[in-house]
Amino acid sequence: MMKERPQGFKYVKTSINYVSYYKDGAWDEGSLNEYDMLNISIMSTALHYGQQCFEGLKAYRRKDGKIQLFRIEDNAKRFQMSCEQLAMPIVAKERFIDAIIKIVKANIDFVPDYGFGDTLYIRPFMIGVGHNLGLRPASEYLFGIVVSPVGSYFSGLAKPVDMIVSDYDRAAPRGTGHVKVGGNYAASLKAQLEAKKKGFADCIFLDPKTHSKIEEVGVANFFGITKDKKYITPKSPSILNSITNRSLKWLAMHVLNLQVLEQDIFIDELSDFEEAGACGTAAVITPIASITNGSHKHVFPHHEKMGPYTRQLYDLLTGIQFGDIKDPNDWVMIID
């Protein structure tokens, strides 16, 4: 029987979540739980000082009914980087992967059907817990994993969306923009809200030093494709190193024969781009129709429907993620 389809990116309680505690310098065994609430100290560093980080990845249902993960080792490595940046203990790669496999298998009935682009979103996270008052790293931590079936992040899948440049900064040049920590996202909420109120899908953050170069598109990386067949994406130390973008760079170069460049993308020099998009685990590839910056609105040539290169990248990426296209690089792990 066909399952009910998930509505966008909303939390749906599933059967089981995973929680492991770190105390006296070591992680416990970890446990699978049905209850989706936490009982933590009111003085937890995660609550007062934002000592927390997270990851986001997906489990994909293949046509043959099997379930697979995409580039999970890269999420494990980035999670370690985020933990280190916030002075938290790391989780071994094997443990991270093992716990995710366990939790996906325990929620197998919640993995959406093949054929609609729906997936099971997986959210690993770590928070500093325990009784603390002064500012210092916690001595106890909680590593958790929760999952939820999801549809598309931006409504109207594959339809180009309008973006607006934010008046606010997301992350400082030598701050935490390159890791996945909650503070970056808290700092972006007001900008996102204001963008949505004005009718835009999300906002674009510029580099915080000069406010002249594109950094991130909400919770996704930016890429553009030029008339002369270049895939260009921003280079900056305060951008999250997107696993999706890394995959697209490889596909653009090796499959589509595009030249791939990481360089400054100036907000007032967008006319070379034929196509533009936002890419990430949640956004997948969302084409960008226009970018409004103050009183200026730049409309990309392919603003009505996904441009041809973006379409090919989308088909290749999702084809590999859902197991329809042979994985060229050991990116995929079939788990069930």
Binding site for ligand PLP (CB under 6 A): 56, 216, 219-221, 240, 242-245, 280-281
d(CA 279, CA 62): 22
How large is the C-alpha radius of gyration of the chain?
20
Nearer to ligand PLP, 121 or 300 (CB): 121
Q: Please, what is the Cα angle at 297 between 295 and 298, to 5 degrees?
A: 145
Nearer to ligand PLP, 16 or 283 (CB): 283
Of 93, 159, 180, 235, catalytic = 180
Find the length of the chain: 336
Q: Are 53 and 181 in contact (CB under 8 A)?
A: yes
Residue number, nearest CB to ligand PLP: 280
Locate 56 and state its tokens: 């986001």
Nearer to ligand PLP, 90 or 278 (CB): 278
Nearer to ligand PLP, 243 or 258 (CB): 243
CB count within 10 Å of CB 330 equals 8
Least distance in angstroms from the C-beta of 58 to ligand PLP: 9
Q: Are 234 and 264 in contact (CB under 8 A)?
A: yes
Least distance in angstroms from the C-beta of 244 to ligand PLP: 3
Nearest CA-CA partner of 202 in 9, 3, 48:
9
Least distance in angstroms from the C-beta of 304 to ligand PLP: 25
- Is there a catalytic annotation at residue 180? yes
Q: Are 225 and 273 in contact (CB under 8 A)?
A: yes
Least distance in angstroms from the C-beta of 232 to ligand PLP: 16
Give me the active site residues, please. 180
